[in-house]
Amino acid sequence: MPGADPRVSPVAAIAQAPVANLERGTFLTRPGGIGRALLGGGPEEVPERYAAANPWRMLPLPVPALLVHGKEDETVTIEQSRDYCAANVAAGGRSELVVPLDTGHRVQIDPRSRAWAAVTDGIDALLAEATRAPDPV
């Protein structure tokens, strides 16, 4: 539940071809669009739901973020991830965007793909950073 006290504190965020802004794009906000279906209405009808669920409204992220988004994605355009990373950094967050070439929307979830390696390498790097002991003062 948004706003509840979490039992686990995340150390990083990984997003694969994310819809990083639920209010952007007609496929999300038009009548019958997935954004409206997910949240039970458009941003003008249920603004409190968009405030709680839209990643764009949660910037800056309190943890480093890795976004992996295929260059040839026609389902969710790569501009969603590019803009999100830039906005997160501008707001003081840490983001990295990895763009596997010649990949569409679902390739990075296939463990046999080169794009999947970008995801696992990113996870390894973020976990190593999160568990590294702080430098002694």
Within-domain flag for 118:
yes
- CA separation, residue 41 to residues 10, 21, 29, 65, 114 (Å): 29, 15, 8, 28, 38
Overall number of domains in the chain: 1
- pLDDT: which is higher, 28 or 15: 15
For 54-74, the pLDDT digits (tens) are: 999 999 999 999 999 988 888
- Kindly state whether residue 107 falls inside one of the protein's structural domains: yes
What distance in Å separates the CA atoms of residue 89 and residue 112, rounded to the nearest whole number?
A: 31
- Predicted local distance difference test score (pLDDT) of residue 130: 78
Instruction: Give residue-wise pLDDT tens across range 75-110.
Output: 888 999 999 999 999 999 999 998 887 788 888 788
CATH of the domain at 56: 3.40.50.1820
What residues contact residue 32 under an 8 Å CB cut-off, 6+ apart?
Answer: none
pTM of the model: 0.80
- Which domain, by its residues, includes 68? 13-131
